[in-house]
Copies of this chain bind each other. A is one copy, B any other.
Amino acid sequence: MGLLIVVDPSSGVPVYRQLMDQIKFHIASGLLGPGDELPSTRALSSELGVNPMTISKAYSYLEKENVVERRPGRPLIVRDLTGEAMTDQRMKQLRESLTAPVRMALQLEIDREEALKLFREMIDTSEEDADERR
């Protein structure tokens, strides 16, 4: 059967981004592991009622982000992100994503410890949520 993917075209969030998010989440949750094949563009397309090109676009971006490996004429497979070689790149991504909050904390004159406390708290609760789903 198909992957647990649901899209809501009227949510405001672009469909291709919803796809990316859910696939990445399934990788993080362990449901998809290194070497696993992603569903074909046509299969997902008919299952979700979404145009194949929209699926393809999501896959392309995932490939650009090195989450997935493309093999011409064959289904995409999940890359192994746990290797040492990948660590730098993952941290670099996280760093980029943190620049906005860091700037905001400075702008709002929020105390260093307060900001760290909030971040720690948010990480912990999100990890608990993920655990419950396993």
Binding site for B on A (CB under 8 A): 21, 24-25, 27-28, 81-82, 90-91, 93-95, 97-110, 112, 114-116, 118-120, 122-124, 126-127, 130
CB of A126 within 8 A of CB of B106, answer yes
Cβ-defined contact, A119 with B102, below 8 A = yes
CA distance A24 to B119 in the complex (A): 22
Greatest chain B CB density within 10 A among A91, A98, A112, A126 is at: A98
Shortest A93–chain B CB gap in Å is 7
Complex: chain B residue closest to A109, CB-CB? B28
Known: A24-B107, A108-B28, A109-B28. A99 touches B81 (CB 8 A): no
